A and B are shown apart, each in its own frame.
Chain A
């Protein structure tokens, strides 16, 4: 019976058998098998038959063809994918592959075209198809509003695409920013007030009127006016806009690593301040705010003698 054993594999001309064997092998080596491995397993099968079997498996979508530095690899495809891909053809699978690789940043349709070398019309058809099958979705980029990037349906788009906490559905949330702006300012103002009323020696007074960015962040989180989770950097950008409004000033002090709220060994402190001058004299006259200032001269259509703005202003 050893003879029978030696002659273990009768030449299996049956292609289905070959395919099944290959699939078993793939299951054994989930990372993929090279052509060499198949050859070793089934030495008696001719190269042509092997190739045919592999092609059949590929076209049925049960096998994945990958390229590695040693050569070609064949890998078993996940079973649920084979269910999805039923009815799709090669091109769609290719496009799907490319989109999957782009991860959560998404990929633009022109880039898909470059990678797959397919004509534009084909790409569009395929994308529409995939979208209707709910496999991919289009996400509008916040940077260029006409650009659409595609990504897998169940992925969360990345921050750079949606713009982070300030954007919701590609719309810049101005009211949200305004509300946060006012809340931060009120917090800093009340802190300065209490510090001023404490009337202790000036050093303590000034130091207690400062609030670190961490404190402000905690206060805003506790207020709970934001549905989105806000980080300390977000709060710092809001505080920066207050600085550009001239209502707040900032100093940076060196802080020990480990104190709460310190970043890289320093902390940012903010303080509410009042402007250093009253509104200046020019804007108290109507000429300072006049929109037709350059057209105004004596004897013309618009002149100081018949200026409507001056007449109104004089009647106050």
Chain B
């Protein structure tokens, strides 16, 4: 856990869960896995508060526990999981594109609450959707349930590990200090058979609603909450790995679309969709798919003939990008997608883009040159890149000082005399990717800090505007005159209004920027993971 990561986790925990959780969480990240007493001692907070903070963290899957020998339970925080909090908006947006508003709200509820039962999710989402709909219309539970089932079928949500049923033996064993949770692989996406009947309810029981409707529903609601739900104990969480797989597929398809044309990218998208469930997320290659299968699975709108499809597949397999490879000839040609190579190309393109924006296009040329040729001498760099010697030297040293390029010495004589050694420039992609990853973490931490600073600076103004809004709302509710409302509104002067506007704009911009840097983090992290798994 690098300093930058720890700082970022601390900021995220503070923003989403508060000071105490932040303290406990940071302590756990710094010190590794600790028993309860050690946490209390180390952070200096009371036992009660530590327990509550740990509850919050465990509920959100940020901390896990384990029983060690001698019966001590130790808690461990997962730094990488905490960093995923940054990506929540992207997950929610993906769910929205795939399953529209219903899916969006389901995933949002699951992410914000950590773990929930299906019935609770369905009820809440139906209520929220009903509020946004027009008067008189309500959201049916059945629709929400069906969307939930679809999310489970495509593995976007999964069941949390459960306490296994106690064995039937009559021996009264003392309960273990902490329950061990386990879940069967095939049960993970099994939706319980629930008979959820009902409709969403509006929160506001204003008189404008259809008379009589809210009132009979209210007693029914309280009656319902007294019965235990049939799926009590079966909790669901969002399956982040699946979302990551989806993001990875999306970037591959975009890359193919940029390099070739729309049709090729659609074919690649089909192939990836077919291997969604069959290939594990860490595999370097997808399962081989035959050209006949691909032809059958193409989306309905695409009516290209079989020969054209074959031609496209051949072109994809021959492309220098090497995303698609041909692994056999049965079934009209078996094709695989080379996931590791695709991730590596995307990561290298990211590195090159960063070098280009930071240092200029000539430096980018030198960087790409050394990346492709692996090891080069100074003279060779000048010759290949067609850049004058003095400038090339300058650029190479600048890249060297930023640790994006490194030197490899090859001595000619045993005494390593500098005049008789070869000095070769080379790019170590994994370490360069890791270094840039650290820079990304620090950048996001900076952006969050700046956002908090901006909000703090204008706190007075924000409080004033909130007060004015509250006054306006209450006056409108009690039926005030137009003139009075106008007067209240003028309490906020025009320059103050402008300041508020610019504050809102700045905060939005900083937020958006955080999400964009997170995209870079995703590409670099996937590449690092995939490379580590291979070696």
Interface of A with B (CB < 8 Å)? 166, 172, 174, 177, 196, 201-203, 206, 237-238, 240-241, 244-246, 249-251, 273-277, 279-285, 287-289, 293, 296, 298, 303-305, 307, 310, 314
Pairwise interchain contact B346-A273, C-beta atoms closer than 8 A: no
Bound: A283/B453 CA distance, A: 22
Contact digits for B347-368, partner A, Cβ 8 Å, 1 yes 0 no: 0011011101110010011101
Bound: A281/B261 CA distance, A: 24
Given contacts A273-B259, A277-B255, A282-B440, contact A202 B450 (CB under 8 A): no
Partner of B315, one of A203, A244, A274, A307: A203
Given contacts A201-B308, A274-B259, contact A298 B449 (CB under 8 A): yes
How many whole Å from B56's CB to the nearest CB in chain A? 26
Instruction: Note all chain B residues with C-beta closer than 8 A to A285.
Output: 443, 447, 513, 516-517
The chain A residue sitting closest to B519, CB to CB, is A281
Pairwise interchain contact A283-B449, C-beta atoms closer than 8 A: no
B254 sits at the interface (CB 8 A): yes
Given contacts A251-B320, A279-B357, A280-B523, contact A237 B386 (CB under 8 A): yes
Pairwise interchain contact B255-A276, C-beta atoms closer than 8 A: yes
Bound: A310/B505 CA distance, A: 14
In the complex, number of A-B residue pairs with CB atoms less than 8 Å apart? 136
Pairwise interchain contact A280-B353, C-beta atoms closer than 8 A: yes
Given contacts A240-B384, A241-B365, A276-B258, contact A283 B450 (CB under 8 A): no
Pairwise interchain contact A281-B516, C-beta atoms closer than 8 A: yes
Given contacts A244-B369, A276-B345, A293-B442, contact A281 B518 (CB under 8 A): yes
Most B C-beta atoms less than 10 A away, residue of A177, A237, A238, A287: A287
Pairwise interchain contact B315-A282, C-beta atoms closer than 8 A: no
Pairwise interchain contact B368-A246, C-beta atoms closer than 8 A: yes
Bound: A275/B348 CA distance, A: 12
Given contacts A202-B315, A276-B259, contact A288 B308 (CB under 8 A): no
The chain B residue sitting closest to A314, CB to CB, is B506
Interface size on B, residues (CB 8 A): 60
A-B pairs, 4 with minimum CB distance? A281-B516, A287-B443, A283-B357, A276-B255
B446 sits at the interface (CB 8 A): yes
Partner of B350, one of A177, A202, A280: A280
Interface of B with A (CB < 8 Å)? 251, 254-255, 258-259, 261, 263-264, 308, 311-312, 314-315, 320-321, 345-346, 349-350, 352-354, 356-358, 361, 364-366, 368-369, 372, 384-389, 436, 439-440, 442-443, 446-447, 449-450, 453, 505-506, 509-510, 513, 515-520, 523
Pairwise interchain contact A305-B450, C-beta atoms closer than 8 A: yes
Instruction: Note all chain A residues with C-beta closer than 8 A to B258.
Output: 274-277
Pairwise interchain contact B259-A202, C-beta atoms closer than 8 A: no
Partner of A304, one of B350, B358, B453, B509: B453
Given contacts A287-B447, A288-B357, A288-B443, contact A282 B517 (CB under 8 A): yes
Pairwise interchain contact B440-A244, C-beta atoms closer than 8 A: no
The chain B residue sitting closest to A274, CB to CB, is B258
How many whole Å from A60's CB to the nearest CB in chain B? 49
Partner of A305, one of B364, B439, B453, B516: B453
Given contacts A241-B384, A244-B368, A282-B436, contact A276 B346 (CB under 8 A): yes
Instruction: Note all chain A residues with C-beta closer than 8 A to B311.
Output: 201-203
Bound: A177/B509 CA distance, A: 41
